[in-house]
């Protein structure tokens, strides 16, 4: 067997400021990766990943599930947060303590000390899946930031401005990277480009993204 010279090496975290109130914390979630993926497996066994329909009737290419008090859903009636999984009628699975702790510590590191997420949206991208430019504005308290955690295959995210017409910057997000955006960046347009084919040792041919929100 080949000894792994890097097995016990701590992974260095670096912070990149994207704009006022917005930061990429590179590798911030790397040390917890296997625990996070185990929790995703348990949550999605109870609340399966599904392709929701937009109010316009299109099926989303990203598969979604949720945990925490509130889950984000979209259907013919529109976008909203609700306490029950529409597939089962049951409450969403509880937010695992390691999820909440990671989100709080990332928010703190980015200068948001009072973040208490009550919703976590789980996105799974398979090759070909994407998310077009949009704003996250279904949350009641826009003074709270959003924290995003990327796991698995890399994907390019688009970091826009306050209007859809302004050309976004492309920023690569890799396994373990965390993005925090709040303050003046909270309502920026953003999205992710089409996921390319690949194989990640922990997730296989997909990328997961967790977004932590203070919804209600
Ligand atoms: C916010 N998810 O679920 S999160 C979403 O990768 C969502 O699944 C994407 O947008 C995903 O609502 C992106 C990371 C992100 C990146 C850049 C941003 C969020 C951003 C720029 C401005 C505002
Ligand atoms: Fe978003």
Q: Which residue, judged by its Cα, is nearest atom 4 of ligand 1? A: 148
At 132-176, the pLDDT tens digits run: 999 999 999 999 999 999 999 999 999 999 999 999 999 999 999
Question: Is 5 inside any structural domain?
Answer: no
Answer whether 107's CB lies under 8 Å from 25's CB.
no
Residues with CB under 6 A from ligand 1: 121, 123, 131, 136, 148, 157, 159, 179, 181, 185, 188, 190, 192, 209, 211
- pLDDT at residue 2 in the model: 64
Ligand nearest, relative to CA of residue 158: 1
178-181 β-sheet, strand order: 14-19, 22-26, 178-181, 146-152, 207-213, 119-125, 63-68
Residue 73 domain-assigned (yes or no): yes
Cβ atoms of 104 and 179 within 8 Å: the answer is no
Q: What is the DSSP string of 153-170?
A: S-EEEEE--SSTTSPPEE
In a domain, 83, yes or no: yes
134 alpha carbon – ligand 1 mean position (Å): 9
Instruction: Count structural domains, the chain.
Output: 1
- Domain with 51, as residue range(s), is 14-213
Integer angstrom CA distances of residue 183 from 90, 106, 111, 139 = 34, 15, 10, 14
Residue 19 lies in a domain: yes
Considering every ligand atom shown, identify the ligand nearest to the alpha carbon of residue 189 and give its number: 1
Q: Is residue 48 a part of any domain in this protein? A: yes
Ligand 1 centroid, distance to 2 Cα (angstroms): 38
Per-residue DSSP letter, 13: P
Per-residue pLDDT reduced to its tens digit, 91-120? 999 999 999 999 999 999 999 999 999 999
Q: What is the CATH number of the domain that holds 55?
A: 2.60.120.590
Residue 94 within any structural domain of the chain: yes
Average pLDDT over residues 187-195: 97
Distance 120 CA to ligand 2 centre (A): 12
Residue-wise pLDDT tens digits, 29-75: 999 999 999 999 999 999 999 999 999 999 999 999 999 999 999 99
Give the ligand with the smallest distance to the CA of 190. Answer: 1
pTM: 0.96
Domain assignment of residue 176, yes or no: yes
Q: Which atom of ligand 1 is nearest to the CA of 187?
A: 23
Please say if the pLDDT value at position 7 is more than 90.
Answer: no
Q: State the pLDDT at residue 208.
A: 99
Domain contains 187: yes
The DSSP-derived string for 33-71 is HHHHHHHHHHHHHHS--B-PBPTTSPBPSSEEEEEESBE
Q: Give the pLDDT of residue 169.
A: 97
């Amino acid at each position: 067997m080949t000894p792994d010279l890097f097995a016990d090496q701590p992974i260095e975290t670096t912070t990149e400021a994207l704009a006022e109130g917005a930061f990429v914390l590179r590798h911030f979630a790397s040390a917890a990766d296997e625990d996070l993926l185990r929790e995703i497996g348990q949550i999605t066994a109870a609340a399966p990943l599904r392709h929701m329909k937009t109010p316009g009737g299109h099926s989303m290419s990203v598969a979604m599930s949720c945990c925490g008090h509130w889950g984000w859903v979209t259907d013919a009636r529109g976008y909203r947060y609700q306490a029950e999984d529409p597939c089962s009628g049951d409450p969403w699975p509880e937010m695992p303590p390691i999820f909440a702790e990671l989100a709080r510590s990332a928010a703190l590191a980015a200068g948001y000390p009072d973040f208490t997420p009550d919703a976590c949206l789980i996105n799974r991208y398979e090759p070909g899946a994407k998310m077009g430019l949009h704003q996250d504005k279904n949350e009641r308290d826009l003074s709270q930031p959003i924290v995003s955690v990327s796991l698995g295959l890399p994907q390019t995210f688009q970091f826009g401005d306050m209007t859809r017409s302004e050309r976004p910057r492309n920023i690569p997000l890799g396994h373990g990277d965390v993005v925090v955006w709040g303050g003046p960046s909270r309502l920026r347009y953003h999205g992710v480009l089409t996921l390319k084919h690949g194989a990640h040792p922990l997730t296989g041919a997909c990328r997961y993204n967790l977004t932590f929100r203070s919804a209600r």
